[in-house]
Amino acid sequence: MARLQQNIENLKAEASENGEEKEPAKIIDQQYKTEREKLQKIRLLLARRNREIAILQRKIDEVPSRAELTQYQKRFIELYGQVSATHKETKQFFTLYNTLDDKKVYLEKEHSLLFGVYSFRAMASSGARDQFLRQMEQIVEGIKQNRMKVR
């Protein structure tokens, strides 16, 4: 309180020296306002600085560390292994399907051949015989082509 009263006396003395006859309360209010404005400016600067710091921290956090990079690498290797296994399994299914389809085609050809032989025995005419021989030649040619295709 003594210090504050001394401040009031000093302010009165300054005001009388400057020719100003203001009341001490008005002088204190004016100083309070100026100090409050300074405080607001400092707070704004601090807030701006904090935003800049936060932006820089986010930029730093965006760059993955070595541990994160090694973890990403491990996950990619695991994912590659899974994709590779699935691809291999799919290839095997396609191969199995193609093999079974070829087998079906061969069985159908064999069935038609056997049916042709049976028909030939039943008809036993020369026209049917020529037709049967042509069919046999076509079948032999198809077998040769399939054999070349398989190789």
The predicted pLDDT at position 24 comes to: 65
Write the pLDDT tens digit of every residue in 6-44.
988 888 877 677 655 556 677 788 889 999 999 999 999
Residue 151 and residue 148: Cα distance in Å, rounded?
5
For residues 89 and 87, give the distance between their C-alpha atoms in angstroms, rounded to a whole number: 5
Q: Tally the residues of the chain.
A: 151
Distance between CA atoms of 107 and 113, rounded to whole angstroms?
A: 10
Supply the pLDDT for residue 120.
67
Q: Is the pLDDT of residue 134 over 80?
A: yes
First-to-last alpha carbon distance for the chain, in angstroms, is 110
| Mean pLDDT to the nearest integer, 117-146 | 76
Please tell me the distance from the alpha carbon of residue 121 to that of residue 128, in angstroms, as a whole number: 10
pTM: 0.44
